[in-house]
């Protein structure tokens, strides 16, 4: 079972992480399209997810899932224990 942090905006953050779990590096517009959220909202959430180490900016404007992000999705990481 996933253990989100108080700082997370769910279900949006989980859905962003799930899309990135595909192994692709994606931009906010593509992620937003796939989870029915605006590009600007996804961009804001990606910034927070990068701060907490669940997502990395692979190159400007493109994001990927980190090992911690994969561990969180698998229920092996308590996101409330992450520091920004």
Cα 45 to the center of its chain, rounded Å:
7
Q: What is the pTM of this model?
A: 0.95
SS3 at position 41: helix
The confidence score (pLDDT) of residue 84 equals: 80
The confidence score (pLDDT) of residue 51 equals: 97
The confidence score (pLDDT) of residue 8 equals: 97
Contact indicator for 5, 80 with CB cutoff of 8 Å? yes
End-to-end CA distance of the chain: 23
pLDDT in tens, 8-63: 999 999 999 999 999 999 999 999 999 999 999 999 999 999 999 999 999 999 99
The confidence score (pLDDT) of residue 33 equals: 97
């Amino acid at each position: 079972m996933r253990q989100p942090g108080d700082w997370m905006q769910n279900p949006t953050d989980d859905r962003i992480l799930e899309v990135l779990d595909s192994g692709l590096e994606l931009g906010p517009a593509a992620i937003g399209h796939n989870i029915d959220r605006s590009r600007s909202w996804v961009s804001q959430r990606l910034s927070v997810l990068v701060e907490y180490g669940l997502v990395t900016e692979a190159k400007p404007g493109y994001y990927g899932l980190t090992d911690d992000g994969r561990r969180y999705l698998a229920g092996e990481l308590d996101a409330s224990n992450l520091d920004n």
